[in-house]
Amino acid sequence: MKRREFIILSGVGATSASLLSACGHPEEKLIPAFIPDEEFVPGIDYWKASTCGMCPAGCGIIVRTREHKANKIEGNPFHPVNRGALCARGQAGLEVLYNPDRIKGPMKRVGERGDGKWEEISWDEGIKMLADKLREVDPTAYNDQALFVTTDSRGVTAHVGHRLMEACRKGAYVVWPLFNEVGAETSYSTGYRSATVFDLANSTYLISFGARFLETWHSPVMYSQAYGEFRGSSGKTRGRFIHVEPRMSMTAANADEWLAPTPGTEYLVALGLAQVIVRENLYKSPASAAFGNELGEYAPENTAAITDIPTEKFIRLAREFAKAERPLAIGALPANAMPAVTLLNTLVDNLNKKGGVLLPSRHNEYYGPLKMLAPRDSFMELSHTKFAEARKMHAWRVMMIHRFNPVFATPAIREEILTIPFIASFSTFMDETTELADLVLPDHSDLERWDLKSSYPTSGGMVVSVTQPVIELQCNTRQTADVLLALARDLGGEAAAALPYESAEEIVKKGAADFAAHWGQPDAETAWSELAERGFAAAVEEFRANTYATKDQLNTTLLSGLQLKAALEEDPDYPLTALIYEQLWQGDGSFANLPALQELPDPMTSAMWGAWVEINPQTAQSLGLKDGDLVDVQTRTGAVRLPALLYPGIRPNVVAIPFGQGHLAYGRYANQRGANPASLFPPSQSGPHLESTSRARVVKAAGRGELTRFGTELQEQMEKRR
């Protein structure tokens, strides 16, 4: 008997459970794990390379497995995007693979929609059911459509889905990620759609307009690494960093100087800086003088009142920026305001220069079968908002939905979706939208599937990373691309002809071989084994300057449409401004089912397992609110009830709510936790995305809010000693 057990047994708290645990020999169950097989020797770590699927950045990962179980994910030290590092989300990836709330296999609905009554079916039955529904759709009728929709825009799923729907003349859509910061790239310069990268590491003076590059923007790990170098490495002076955002995000907290303008006026700050640079002749590209006239009205003297940033600060920062050795501006503003940021970079002439804006020359991102399957015009890209609008325009008879949860992001769309006669969901988890489905054909987790992803590291060129299974299947799931290929075979005719592939694995391997051949490795087998082992292949090429917008284009397209006004109209009944933000780990809400992240203290507030509303202490005082009070945040559209969190890092009269909690489904860790702020914003005007702001008021509700914050007494100890 073990000593502690004896203590427990002899104490008052002896229970039958501890008695039972003293019997039997659980160790013997371990025997099968100690028998080696062809692949594994017990007691030895096996590392397998793949690509992180927790966000679109495409970081390389290596997964440690032992005795047929994956027990750790680390960054791939050789991968040029993340060079060994991995963020909090990526580290929690195993909780997706081994999540207890995964859908175990294909199911069809047996009760009413939303009742949660399901019957397990076979994959053959599920695929046949969906194929039959697709056959019922009349391809000639405008108002009779089938739809495939995914947020996984660059993966094999989207390509296969698109080609399948095209072949049977049905609609296919990619919906931007909820916090669509990848979409913002489109507007970087006129019509140029590519992965613009920013050479943060070598910049000496950085201004960020709301781009939370250390948390959620573009490629957070890649830019965090660059930030580390920016702050100082051997032989380099420490870079200076200014961040412009009404709420102090974690990224803002790291800035040397934080500017908190009125929400929605960030672009006016950028234009004000530009105006000072032009009028003081501090610009580096001679053509910039031409902007003088257009910029006149944005002089800081005119905008200081709207932005609430003093004129002197504008002038000082403009001079610092323009005189810096290698200045750089980045931004995550709404698409129509981004030209203001581009203008700053134009003035200091940093395009394709060290420490500046880097435009990789355009490659075809797709190879092999992926090139054949690459999206064409019929493949529409939509924002969440536009998805709701598109729904109004088309009568969809069948909706196939993949990695997309519109009922959570835009709760008002629920009724619309219920009118669609047949819904098939490919979700790995029972989310709010899948609850309404008629058929569930669950996809693999990212650690079980095949895919190919391209990304642009700051070191230049392009990287193709492979997603491959690192462990045996955990559930009776099937990769959605494979289901779609099976569907094509069942449908026959044009669909089968358009998709002559056996599996996603075949597509990925052929695509990888084609990529390798293009970049000098003609032997497909060697190319594949190298790629599978390393997890990625790189095409290195210098950045080229020839694709940048000319100054004429800047003149006409960039500045038109920008208006000198605050983003929101005054509303006497709603004196405050409410905004939502993408929190460090919560993303679009799809990580709320991971306990390691739920219990991760928020970096700015230490809050865990819930949602909250951040209020400046000064505002709270005027409203008679204390930390932890339960409040109703009301807008003209809706209301949410949340605990108030007094937060010094937010403008007075602005309240901020993290997005991602408030699920009404999605498993034991996510369900009924906090509240979903999406209802504060009208779905027709703007679904929740990064620029969502609304006039609001805050009313104290009865009772105390439940909000847990992680804390220790270290701070007191330190202050005592000061």
Partner 1 sequence: MKRLTKSVVVVCAVVVIIGIVLLRASGKPEAPRQPIEFDHWQHVTKEEGPQLECTFCHENVDKSSHATIPNIITCMGCHESILTESGEVQKLAAFAERKEQPPWRRVYWHEPEANVFYTHKPHIRAGLECITCHGKVGEMHRVRREVDQTMGWCIDCHRTRSVSIDCYVCHR
Partner 2 sequence: MTEERKSNKPRWAMVIDLDRCTGCEACVVACRVENNIPTVGPEEAAKGRSINWIRIERYFEGEFPDLKVKFMPVLCQHCEEAPCEPVCPVYATYHTDEGLNAQVYNRCVGTRYCANNCPYTVRFFNFFDPKWDAPLDKALNPEVSVRTRGVMEKCTFCIQRIRKGEEKAKDEGREVRDGDVVPACVQTCTTKAMYFGNIADPESEVSRLSKSNRASRLLEDLGTKPKVIYLNKGD
Binding-site ranges for partner 1 (CB under 8 A): 1-2, 4-5, 9, 19, 22-28, 30-32, 34-37, 41-44
> What is the C-alpha separation between 602 and 609, in angstroms, rounded?
10
Residue pair 58/434 in contact (Cβ under 8 Å)? The answer is no
Choose between 28 and 415: whose C-beta lies nearer to partner 1.
28
Taking the complex as a whole, the smallest distance from the CB of residue 9 to partner 1 amounts, in Å, to 7
Choose between 461 and 617: whose C-beta lies nearer to partner 2.
617
DSSP state of 197: E
Choose between 246 and 368: whose C-beta lies nearer to partner 2.
246
User: Which among partner 1, partner 2, none contacts residue 703 (Cβ within 5 to 8 A by kind)?
Assistant: none
Q: What DSSP assignment string belongs to 61-130?
A: EEEEEETTEEEEEEE-TT-TTTTT---HHHHTTHHHHT-TTB--S-EEE-SSTTS--EEE--HHHHHHHH
Taking the complex as a whole, the smallest distance from the CB of residue 28 to partner 2 amounts, in Å, to 17
> Of 347, 344, 348, 342, which is closest to residue 326 (Cα–Cα)?
348
Q: How many CB atoms lie within 10 A of CB 530?
A: 16
Residue pair 304/568 in contact (Cβ under 8 Å)? The answer is no
Taking the complex as a whole, the smallest distance from the CB of residue 353 to partner 2 amounts, in Å, to 24
Taking the complex as a whole, the smallest distance from the CB of residue 4 to partner 1 amounts, in Å, to 8
DSSP state of 663: B
Taking the complex as a whole, the smallest distance from the CB of residue 21 to partner 1 amounts, in Å, to 9
Taking the complex as a whole, the smallest distance from the CB of residue 237 to partner 2 amounts, in Å, to 10
Residue pair 539/519 in contact (Cβ under 8 Å)? The answer is yes
Taking the complex as a whole, the smallest distance from the CB of residue 12 to partner 1 amounts, in Å, to 15
Choose between 6 and 710: whose C-beta lies nearer to partner 1.
6
> Of 217, 308, 208, which is closest to residue 263 (Cα–Cα)?
308
Structure tokens of 538?
A: 């790189």
Choose between 135 and 704: whose C-beta lies nearer to partner 2.
704
> What is the C-alpha separation between 135 and 144, in angstroms, rounded?
12
Bridge-partner residues for 629, per DSSP?
A: 704
Q: Which amino acid is at 276?
A: V
> What is the C-alpha separation between 288 and 298, in angstroms, rounded?
16
Choose between 19 and 545: whose C-beta lies nearer to partner 1.
19
> Of 460, 367, 448, 516, which is closest to residue 81 (Cα–Cα)?
460
Bridge-partner residues for 576, per DSSP?
A: 696
Taking the complex as a whole, the smallest distance from the CB of residue 19 to partner 1 amounts, in Å, to 8
User: Which among partner 2, partner 1, none contacts residue 9 (Cβ within 5 to 8 A by kind)?
Assistant: partner 1
Q: How many CB atoms lie within 10 A of CB 245?
A: 26
User: Which among partner 1, partner 2, none contacts residue 722 (Cβ within 5 to 8 A by kind)?
Assistant: none
Bridge-partner residues for 118, per DSSP?
A: 109
What HEC string does 554-597 produce?
HHHHHCCCCCCCCCCCCCCCCCEEEEEEECCCCCCCCCCCCHHH
Taking the complex as a whole, the smallest distance from the CB of residue 143 to partner 2 amounts, in Å, to 46
H or E element, residue 464? strand 462-467
Choose between 638 and 652: whose C-beta lies nearer to partner 2.
652
Cα Dmax for the chain = 88
Taking the complex as a whole, the smallest distance from the CB of residue 43 to partner 1 amounts, in Å, to 4
Choose between 27 and 112: whose C-beta lies nearer to partner 1.
27
Collapsing DSSP states into helix, strand and coil, what is residue 654? strand
Q: How many CB atoms lie within 10 A of CB 109?
A: 19
> What is the C-alpha separation between 557 and 552, in angstroms, rounded?
8
Choose between 472 and 502: whose C-beta lies nearer to partner 2.
472
Choose between 41 and 418: whose C-beta lies nearer to partner 1.
41
How many CA atoms does the CB half-sphere of 148 hold within 13 Å?
Answer: 27
Contacts with 366 (C-beta within 8 Å, 6 or more apart), sequence order? 159, 373, 374, 454, 511
Choose between 37 and 569: whose C-beta lies nearer to partner 1.
37
Token pair 């700051």: residue:
458
DSSP state of 416: H
> What is the C-alpha separation between 662 and 671, in angstroms, rounded?
7
Q: Which amino acid is at 638?
A: G
> What is the C-alpha separation between 677 and 640, in angstroms, rounded?
6
Work out the angle between the directed axes of helices 480-491 and 156-167 (0-180°, nearest 10): 20
User: Which among partner 2, partner 1, none contacts residue 609 (Cβ within 5 to 8 A by kind)?
Assistant: partner 2
**CA trace torsion 113, 114, 120, 125 (10° rounding):** 40
Choose between 251 and 676: whose C-beta lies nearer to partner 2.
251
Choose between 42 and 84: whose C-beta lies nearer to partner 1.
42
Edge-to-edge strand order for the sheet containing 327-331? 257-259, 240-244, 205-209, 327-331
Taking the complex as a whole, the smallest distance from the CB of residue 413 to partner 2 amounts, in Å, to 29
Residue pair 610/548 in contact (Cβ under 8 Å)? The answer is no
Choose between 27 and 569: whose C-beta lies nearer to partner 1.
27
Collapsing DSSP states into helix, strand and coil, what is residue 607? strand
> Of 32, 53, 173, 117, which is closest to residue 435 (Cα–Cα)?
117
Choose between 350 and 616: whose C-beta lies nearer to partner 2.
616
User: Which among partner 2, partner 1, none contacts residue 19 (Cβ within 5 to 8 A by kind)?
Assistant: partner 1
Taking the complex as a whole, the smallest distance from the CB of residue 30 to partner 1 amounts, in Å, to 8
Choose between 14 and 395: whose C-beta lies nearer to partner 1.
14
How far from the centroid of its chain's Cα atoms is residue 339's Cα? 23
User: Which among partner 2, partner 1, none contacts residue 70 (Cβ within 5 to 8 A by kind)?
Assistant: partner 2
Residue pair 688/178 in contact (Cβ under 8 Å)? The answer is yes
Taking the complex as a whole, the smallest distance from the CB of residue 363 to partner 2 amounts, in Å, to 27
Choose between 14 and 699: whose C-beta lies nearer to partner 1.
14
